[in-house]
Amino acid sequence: MNKKKSIKQVIKTFRFWRFALIQLFITFSNSFIINTGRTFGALIGINGKILQILIISQLAGSIFIGPILGLIVDKKGPLKLLKISSLCCMFPGILLTFFLNNSIVFIVSYLFALLCSISFLMGFSPFIMEIYGIQESVILIAIISVFSKLSEITTTVTAFIFSLIYTKEELKKQYQIMYIVGCVFCLFGFILIKFEKNKKFTYDKKIEDLDILDEKGNFSKENV
């Protein structure tokens, strides 16, 4: 019961929903670039073998880059990594907007978006745990992840609709618009997290009661 009350207390704050918006904005750009990379890359004439390598790089990135970023989080803290990754995630969209037909730029942008996505994920959960505590964070992160999935679904469905409606040349223009939208979203996300600090959430002492077994085996409540 205490845990439920603590969760309710958190979700009533603007700070929590700011985290949810950050997740929504940052995921949008990276998701669109990564999830549509193979299909759209083939459309603009990138070699199929290179595209396969890009897909494999997603798994390799998680395996090899993840531990390195984990060490950075342990030494420097998750907030610094979040600020850097949220700022850097704008660059792939900017490059693709102006150099969409350049295969090298497309590949570099894809890999950079992948790196930004992994680094953001590596920093976000530990930061939420630092702010709200481990027990509460399990549920809070699950709630926030809904916004991340919403971004992924939106970008996937949008790309599918584009492929049904537009011709090859028209599709390029639509993708450029989506890249610009993604850049703007990343900028919003960066602004929201720019002023974030390592300030732990203070729970109401009236709510923070612990159920403790007394010597007779009965439950008693004791204020923290």
List, for residues 115-168, the tens digit of each pLDDT value.
Answer: 888 889 889 999 999 999 888 899 999 999 999 999 999 998 988 898 888 887
Q: Residue 120: which of 44, 34, 7 has the closest Cα?
A: 34
Highest mean pLDDT among 96-100, 101-105, 165-169: 96-100
Give one DSSP letter per residue of 172-214, joined into a string.
Answer: HHHHHHHHHHHHHHHHHHHHHHHT---PPP---TTT-EEEEE-
Mean pLDDT over residues 193-212, rounded? Answer: 73
The closest alpha carbon to 22, from 72, 115, 95, 89, belongs to 89
Q: How confident is the model at residue 3 (pLDDT cuts 50, 70, 90)?
A: confident
Q: Which two structure tokens, joined as six digits, stand for 160? A: 């599918």
The pLDDT of 195-199, averaged and rounded, is 87
Return the half-sphere exposure (C-beta side, CA atoms, 13 A cut-off) of residue 10: 28
Beta carbons of 197 and 127 less than 8 angstroms apart: no
How many whole angstroms separate alpha carbon 24 and alpha carbon 30?
11
Please tell me the pTM assigned to this model: 0.81
Q: Given 1.10.357.10, 1.20.1250.20, 2.40.340.10, 3.90.700.10, which CATH number is that of 2-199?
A: 1.20.1250.20
60-64, 117-121, 205-209, range with the lowest pLDDT: 205-209
What does the DSSP assignment read for 50-76?
Answer: HHHHHHHHHHHIIIIIHHHHHHHHHHH
Greater pLDDT, 63 or 44: 63
158: which 2 tokens? 């949008």
pLDDT in the model for residue 224 = 39
Domain ranges of the chain: 2-199
